[in-house]
Amino acid sequence: MARISVFGIGYVGVVSAACLAKDGHTVIAVDVDPGKIKSINDGLSPIVENGLDALIAEVVAAGKLTATNDVQYAIDNSDASFVAVGTPSAPDGSVGLTYVEGVCRNIGAALANKSSFHSVIIRSTIVPGSCEATCIPVLEKASGKVAGTDFGMGYYPEFLRESTAIEDYYDPGLIVFGALDKKTGDFLTALNTGLNCKIHVVDLRTAEMVKYTSNTWRAVKVTFANEIGNIAKASGLDGQTVMEILCSDEKVAMSKYFMRPGFAFGGSCLPKDVRALRYLANSTGTNAHLLNAVIEANEAQIQRAEAMVEASGAAKVGFVGISFKPGTDDLRESPLAELAARLIAKGVEVGIYDPYVFEAYAANNSTAGRGNDVIPDLKDRMVEDLDHLIGDSGAILVGNFYKNTVGSLEKAAQTRPVLDLTRMKRDMVSEGQYQGICW
């Protein structure tokens, strides 16, 4: 078993650290946030994710997972480091490498004091060429050592989906990594041996590009389905029926999950990665018509939902769901959060029912409301009881699907506008008080 340090106790970092510890590895999680460090060391999850609370409690109790802010300690007591910090978009749309550079600089300084071989493996989402142009030079300058010779270097992207991250970790659909040196490549191969998935070993740039291609492809599919849905509805047709027939062709290599007309895409990956890939294309003089259209069309889908709310005439709107995806408390670039913020700015009163975001606040998680930078007084807008939200709202906007809400929402559509962005029931189409965004 290996000794591994994981830098960044965010979504990817904490899930990876917990699963590595579950597999028997000794793991040190590293972060600058004292709240996250305390949560881990107390055996608690700093985020809301299915199954993560119990998993962290188990591996911390077993002594397999600890957390610290001491970089030198983490490097001295591990043989490989995963870098899993965020890469938010820079103001010009390019990938933001500030956090990655900072961590690489700190790791490099610690490597300068270590004589034994150590592998540095980037898991953060970075555009092709970032390892070679940014990470390696920073590590080499800070350490005084040569990548691939004096220390190992690899890029190992993750493909975890929020709300199903632990399941995805043990049953991956894709494994790909690049390594400068044999030791790092052998380490990553051994780490993934036994999983029911082909291991793709490539160069660093290809591994970086696969990650962006994967995320951008998902973004393109969401937008494509929405456009078909909008056109179909305007023609008196059901967009979801059209797409279901298309998806019945099982020979087409696509995920049906994204091929459902509905609301805009959001989250911590798709929006920023489309922006970054578009910036990369422009920087190489390559036309990126579709990437430009993806961003434009996704914004138009938010405007479409905004127009639906305005057409309802409601002075108070109850949101069912505010996170970017059901089953998570993550609000990073949530289109629902953006929609709510726009309505609030126009004087519309907004109440919110979202069991996962509410849970995070109720548990006083240090990361409650994580990713929200647009909704004022979010905590005060949260409503625990759905029926209370319905009774107190002039219109209901269904943003995320929660099975236990369907009965109440279907009944509500008999007395007030119910605007559905996710399709709570397959047999419901726009009629009377009920309006679906694409059906």
**211 is an annotated ligand-binding site residue:** yes
Q: Which residue has the tokens 């700015």?
A: 345
Q: What is the CA radius of gyration of the chain?
A: 23
How far apart are the C-alpha atoms of 194 and 191, rounded to whole Å?
A: 9
Contact of 2 with 77, CB cutoff 8 Å? no
Question: CB-based burial of residue 171 (10 Å sphere; 0-12 exposed, 13-18 middle, 19+ buried)?
Answer: exposed
DSSP β-bridge partners for residue 30:
7, 68
Determine if residue 389 is left, alpha or beta; phi over 0 gives left, psi from -120 to 50 gives alpha, anything else beta.
Answer: alpha
**36 is an annotated ligand-binding site residue:** yes
* 269 tagged catalytic: yes
**392 is an annotated ligand-binding site residue:** no
- H or E stretch including 139? helix 136-143
Looking at 131, 135, 269, 438, which residue is catalytic?
269
**381 is an annotated ligand-binding site residue:** no
Residue 178: what residue type? G
Contact of 161 with 326, CB cutoff 8 Å? no
Q: Supply 388's token pair.
A: 């209370």
DSSP β-bridge partners for residue 349:
316
**105 is an annotated ligand-binding site residue:** no
**266 is an annotated ligand-binding site residue:** yes
**91 is an annotated ligand-binding site residue:** no
**246 is an annotated ligand-binding site residue:** no
Q: What is the DSSP letter of 384?
A: S
**260 is an annotated ligand-binding site residue:** yes
**251 is an annotated ligand-binding site residue:** no
State the alpha helices, DSSP H only, in 235-354: 239-247, 270-283, 289-312, 335-345
**194 is an annotated ligand-binding site residue:** no
Q: How many other C-beta atoms lie within 10 A of the C-beta of residue 366? A: 17
**144 is an annotated ligand-binding site residue:** no
**102 is an annotated ligand-binding site residue:** no
**173 is an annotated ligand-binding site residue:** no
How far apart are the C-alpha atoms of 224 and 242, rounded to whole Å?
A: 12
Q: Which three-class secondary structure state does DSSP give residue 318?
A: strand
**183 is an annotated ligand-binding site residue:** no
**333 is an annotated ligand-binding site residue:** no
Binding site, annotated residues:
31, 36, 87, 125, 159-162, 211, 258-262, 266, 272, 325, 332
Binding site, annotated residues for NAD(+):
31, 36, 87, 125, 162, 272, 332
Binding site, annotated residues for substrate:
159-162, 211, 258-262, 266, 325
Q: Which residues are catalytic?
A: 269
